[in-house]
């Protein structure tokens, strides 16, 4: 009887561990947070900013993509026995740092091909079902990581979300195509390995996030710049079906014409031809030589050769041009929240090498826009060259994509919420940067303390407001912030948007003349693809 009782007791303990997700057998005095997802038990740490929030860093969501796994879809990670320390971020994926002194410079972190790790912030217990917010970092698909301090998920977790950040393959490691890769692929595809990594991370969320108190049936993907491009690609990819339920895209989409795997478009040469050219420049005779090349050497060689990184219309991960897919209602039918900033180009070099005078400005515009140049210059006139250059860069690169995405969401009968961020962060007015690219991120994460310069009480207040909208949308699909304006969905009939500035205000019909002329420009570019 004693043996039976002891066995029953052990079974109850094991059952308790599986239900709560907490590793019960922790050493006396060790109060570090523990979880037991299916992958294996983890020991995390408490957030420095809020001790109620547990943080688990450097969790592998895929096997290291090294050796023969370079330029292969991600494979399942290994599990482990015992407890794994999860108190430090994994390495960045292979990348070159921003030059010291550049606006986006950060001290270098270790970079490695072995980089497919993610991080989780949670205040929830395993028997809860909190909304999950999966952040996909930006950086032109060539830089960045989930470890950047602005992306710390503590404050969003404190507001009731479970936050995940992740690394994914970048640059030549994430977006390289080659005929031999197509030949060895059962899907006759190549490239998009970074997007496949993101899909693998979302599958990890489905399999494991319940142990952290997250709801796998209520996942929001969100990202900025190239992270928003990724969100846009995922919304179009059949491989991501069922892995998320809402999307937030900040200053980035790929509804303009994109690179295709095996044919030239207005976006440039085919991805295969670009890969062949890179191999030729490097002097690699075949794929085997490329896979054998040390990672650092390959990274430097691709940078020197000007290898262009982008998502690829490959017929598998991305079946068609995104504008075509979205126009046919073939994107995933999920609510979207998206927008852009008023001064996107000030930190992206858009105002470098300005035309010297009106005549030179007009000549450049005619070279770019041809017979549509006069219409474009009606909206972006030559009487203020700097302002027109910055506005046209903002609208062609960001604004048109975001507004068009909001518009095309009608084809799947889902709401779209559009914002326009115009608030100047600390020091941005004096430096002429305005609401620069990526400046809204600190506000959406409620991490105003990471802003450059002297953060004001209003900055903290705006961050609290915006993060409320973001978490509310993740929770319910409707963005709400207590005491703030109601955010109405965007539609063709009523083109609602919310503006974030010294006060939050609701408006309608944002910059209609700009989108009318750019619709014609983008339509012309799409015609050149079909021709």
90 close to 57: Cβ distance less than 8 angstroms: yes
Longest Cα–Cα distance in the chain: 97
Q: For residues 497 and 421, what is the distance between their CA atoms, to the nearest angstrom? A: 10
Using DSSP bridges, classify how beta strands 246-250 and 336-341 pair: parallel, antiparallel or unpaired. parallel
- Which phi and psi (to 5°) does residue 120 adopt? -130, 135
Which tokens is 64 given?
């290291």
Q: For residues 433 and 460, what is the distance between their CA atoms, to the nearest angstrom? A: 20
Clarify whether 344 is annotated catalytic: yes
Q: Catalytic: which of 225, 270, 342, 467?
A: 225
Clarify whether 102 is annotated catalytic: no
435: which residues sit within 8 A by CB, 6+ positions away? 341, 342, 343, 421, 422, 423, 424, 425, 428
Q: With helix as H, strand as E and coil as C, how does 343-359 read?
A: EHHHHCCCCCCCCCCHH
Clarify whether 178 is annotated catalytic: no
Q: For residues 369 and 373, what is the distance between their CA atoms, to the nearest angstrom? A: 5
Q: Dihedral of CA 69/74/80/83: which sign?
A: positive
Q: For residues 107 and 348, what is the distance between their CA atoms, to the nearest angstrom? A: 19
Which tokens is 458 given?
């209003």
User: Residue 69's closest CA among 174, 214, 221, 183?
Assistant: 174
With tokens 């059949």, the residue in question is 238
Q: For residues 167 and 138, what is the distance between their CA atoms, to the nearest angstrom? A: 10
User: Residue 292's closest CA among 137, 113, 154, 436?
Assistant: 113
Q: Dihedral of CA 342/345/346/352: which sign?
A: negative
| Strands (E) located in 141-299 | 162-166, 214-224, 246-250
| Helix boundaries (H) for 86-190 | 154-158, 171-174, 179-184
Q: For residues 464 and 156, what is the distance between their CA atoms, to the nearest angstrom? A: 10
As a whole number of Å, the CA-based R_g of the chain is: 24
Sequence length of the chain is 531
Q: Catalytic: which of 145, 344, 392, 472?
A: 344
Q: For residues 294 and 354, what is the distance between their CA atoms, to the nearest angstrom? A: 40
For residue 54, list its beta bridge partners: 46, 122
408: which residues sit within 8 A by CB, 6+ positions away? 255, 323, 326, 327, 331
Q: Catalytic: which of 423, 437, 467, 481?
A: 437
Strand ordering across the sheet containing 162-166 = 45-46, 54-60, 117-122, 162-166, 130-136, 214-224, 246-250, 336-341, 416-421, 496-500, 504-508
**Residues designated as active site:** 225, 344, 437
């Amino acid at each position: 009887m004693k043996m039976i009782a002891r066995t029953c007791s052990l079974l109850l303990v094991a059952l308790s561990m599986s239900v709560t997700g907490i590793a019960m057998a922790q050493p006396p005095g060790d109060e570090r947070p523990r979880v037991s997802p299916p992958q294996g038990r983890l020991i995390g740490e408490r957030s420095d900013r809020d001790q109620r929030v547990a943080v688990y860093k450097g969790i592998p969501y895929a096997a290291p993509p090294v050796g023969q796994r370079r330029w292969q879809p991600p494979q399942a990670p290994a599990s482990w026995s015992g407890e794994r320390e999860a108190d430090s971020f994994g390495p960045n994926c292979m990348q070159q740092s921003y030059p010291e002194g550049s606006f986006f410079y950060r001290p270098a972190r270790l970079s490695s091909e072995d980089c497919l790790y993610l991080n989780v912030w949670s205040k929830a217990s395993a028997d809860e079902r909190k909304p999950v917010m999966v952040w996909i970092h930006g950086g032109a698909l060539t830089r960045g990581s989930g470890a950047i301090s602005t992306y710390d998920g503590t404050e969003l977790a404190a507001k009731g979300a479970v936050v995940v950040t992740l690394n994914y393959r970048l640059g030549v490691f994430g977006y390289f195509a080659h005929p031999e890769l197509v030949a060895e692929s059962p899907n006759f595809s190549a490239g998009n390995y970074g997007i496949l990594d993101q899909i693998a991370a979302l599958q990890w969320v489905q399999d494991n996030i319940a142990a952290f108190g997250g709801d796998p049936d209520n996942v929001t993907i969100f990202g900025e710049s190239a992270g928003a491009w990724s969100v846009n690609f995922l919304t179009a990819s059949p491989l991501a079906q069922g892995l998320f339920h809402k999307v937030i895209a900040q200053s980035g989409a790929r509804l303009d014409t994109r690179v295709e795997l095996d044919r030239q478009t207005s976006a440039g040469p085919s991805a295969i031809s670009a890969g062949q050219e890179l191999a030729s420049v490097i002097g690699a005779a075949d794929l085997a030589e490329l896979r054998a090349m040390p990672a650092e050497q390959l990274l430097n060689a691709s940078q020197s050769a000007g290898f262009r990184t982008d998502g690829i219309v490959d017929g598998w991960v991305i079946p068609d041009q995104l504008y075509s897919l979205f126009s046919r209602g073939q994107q995933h039918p999920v609510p979207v929240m998206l927008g852009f900033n008023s001064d996107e180009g000030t930190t992206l070099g858009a105002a470098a090498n300005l035309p010297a005078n009106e005549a030179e400005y007009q000549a450049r515009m005619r070279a770019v826009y041809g017979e549509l140049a006069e219409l474009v210059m009606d909206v972006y006139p030559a009487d203020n060259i700097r302002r027109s250059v910055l506005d046209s860069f903002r609208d062609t690169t960001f604004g048109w994509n975001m507004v068009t995405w909001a518009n095309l969401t009608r084809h799947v009968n889902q709401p779209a919420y559009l914002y326009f961020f115009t608030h100047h962060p600390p020091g941005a007015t004096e430096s002429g940067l305005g609401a620069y690219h990526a400046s809204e991120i600190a506000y959406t994460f409620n991490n105003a303390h990471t802003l450059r310069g002297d953060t004001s009480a209003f900055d903290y207040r705006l961050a609290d407001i915006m993060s409320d909208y973001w978490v509310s949308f993740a929770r319910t699909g409707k963005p709400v912030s207590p005491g703030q304006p109601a955010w109405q969905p965007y539609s063709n009939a009523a083109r609602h948007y919310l503006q974030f500035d010294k006060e939050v205000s609701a408006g309608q019909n944002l910059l209609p003349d700009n989108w009318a002329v750019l619709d014609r420009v983008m339509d012309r570019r799409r015609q050149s693809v079909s021709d």
